């Protein structure tokens, strides 16, 4: 019989729901899943969208039923994929989709791309963690900057999720001894360059150079349909001292001789209380 990951561990551990907005097959979620399922102190259930649901924020599905199917993972465990949103995934778990499993912590990610500043209000990754707060559970959102060190809302090219996965797993393990304060959401952003520590920062204010740009016109359409692009690049001209944007920009300005080469810092600093 195929068992879900949470059923493989003993009673008395923390029950973690893992979800994301990039889809159940996304490399970020799979890296984090492997790191969490390896912890003997974690009972893990995975419920995630069946495809990419980025930038859906706290959207929910109300006008139709949700399809759910089991997904086999390569370690013999199973997860659940749905055609709903990231918030739907958290609701499915909370309403008993996985028999005998009641989440105590929601972890969302690892997102393919950063979630910084005002962008968290659009993020499906952060929305899933926020839904945990709404339900009275702690929530952690994890996002990974690409090796191209982008800082805007668009994902870059090339990701190494291993450090973010191991850091998050260590954090989850420590939460048993140092629980999150009630109503706390952790929004973790891991830089594309190799970090040497942990910095706690407030949210920054995004400035975008958006414009209404006509891309194409459909002369065959009865109403003269037009195609517009309304999003532009991010600007960082504001003074963002002490913010997540400033921390991300400082790290992005640094260069590693081989950003694809695995690297483990000898010492990672955790702030306490977490």
State yes or no: pLDDT of 239 exceeds 70: no
Per the document, the length of the chain is 274
**Among candidate residues 149, 135, 56, the one with its CA nearest the CA of residue 95:** 135
Contacts of 153 (CB under 8 A, 6+ apart): 55, 113, 119, 122, 231, 234
**Among candidate residues 104, 107, 105, 103, the one with its CA nearest the CA of residue 95:** 103
Query: How many other C-beta atoms can be found within 10 angstroms of the C-beta atom of residue 118?
Result: 14
> What is the spatial distance between Cα 125 and Cα 57, in angstroms, rounded to a whole number?
8
Q: Specify the pTM.
A: 0.84
Q: What does the block give as tokens for 102?
A: 């009641």
88 by Cβ neighbours in 10 Å (0-12 / 13-18 / 19+) ranks as buried
Please tell me which residue, 211 or 168, carries the higher pLDDT value.
168
State yes or no: pLDDT of 237 exceeds 50: yes
Triad 211, 252, 159: Cα angle to 5°: 90
User: What is the residue-wise DSSP string for 103-140?
Assistant: -SEEEEEEEES---GGGGGT-HHHHHHHHHHHTT--EE
> What is the spatial distance between Cα 90 and Cα 97, in angstroms, rounded to a whole number?
10
The pLDDT confidence band at residue 148, using thresholds 50, 70 and 90, is confident
> What is the spatial distance between Cα 213 and Cα 248, in angstroms, rounded to a whole number?
29
User: What is the residue-wise DSSP string for 129-177?
Assistant: HHHHHHTT--EEEEEE--TT---SSS--S----HHHHHHHHHHHHHTTT
Q: Mind listing the pLDDT tens digit for each residue in 24-35?
A: 999 999 999 999
Q: What pLDDT was estimated at residue 240?
A: 74
Q: Name the average pLDDT for the chain.
A: 85
Identify the three-state secondary structure at position 28: helix
Q: Which residue has the tokens 């706690």?
A: 200
Q: What's the whole-number mean pLDDT along residues 209-229?
A: 91
Q: Are 56 and 63 in contact (CB under 8 A)?
A: no
Strand order in the sheet with 185-190: 68-72, 78-82, 42-49, 14-19, 105-112, 139-144, 185-190
Q: Mind listing the pLDDT tens digit for each residue in 94-145?
A: 999 999 999 999 999 999 999 999 899 999 999 999 999 999 999 999 999 9
> What is the spatial distance between Cα 78 and Cα 71, in angstroms, rounded to a whole number?
5
**Among candidate residues 131, 23, 31, 139, the one with its CA nearest the CA of residue 82:** 23
């Amino acid at each position: 019989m195929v068992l879900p990951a949470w059923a493989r561990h003993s009673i008395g551990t923390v029950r973690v729901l893992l979800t994301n907005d990039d889809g159940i097959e996304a490399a970020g979620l799979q890296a984090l899943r492997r790191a969490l399922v390896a912890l003997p102190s974690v009972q893990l259930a995975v419920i995630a969208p069946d495809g990419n649901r980025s930038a859906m924020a706290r959207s929910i599905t109300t006008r139709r039923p949700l399809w759910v199917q089991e997904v086999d993972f390569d370690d013999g465990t199973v997860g659940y994929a749905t055609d709903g949103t990231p918030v739907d995934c958290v609701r499915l778990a909370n309403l008993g989709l996985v028999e005998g499993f009641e989440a105590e912590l929601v972890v969302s990610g690892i997102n393919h791309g950063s979630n910084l500043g005002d962008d968290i209000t659009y993020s499906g990754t952060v929305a899933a963690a926020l839904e945990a707060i709404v339900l009275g559970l702690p929530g952690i959102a994890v996002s990974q900057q690409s090796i191209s060190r982008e800082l805007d809302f668009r994902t870059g090219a090339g990701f190494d999720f291993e450090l973010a996965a191991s850091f998050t797993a260590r954090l989850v393990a420590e939460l048993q001894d140092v629980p999150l304060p009630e109503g706390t959401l952790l929004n973790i952003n891991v830089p594309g360059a190799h970090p040497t520590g942990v910095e706690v920062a407030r949210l920054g204010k995004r400035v975008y150079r958006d414009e209404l740009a006509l891309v194409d016109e459909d002369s065959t359409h009865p109403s003269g349909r037009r195609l517009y692009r309304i999003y532009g690049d991010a600007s960082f001209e504001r003074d963002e001292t002490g913010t997540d944007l400033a921390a991300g920009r400082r790290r992005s300005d640094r260069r590693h001789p081989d950003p694809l080469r695995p690297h483990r810092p000898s010492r990672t600093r955790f702030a306490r209380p977490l």
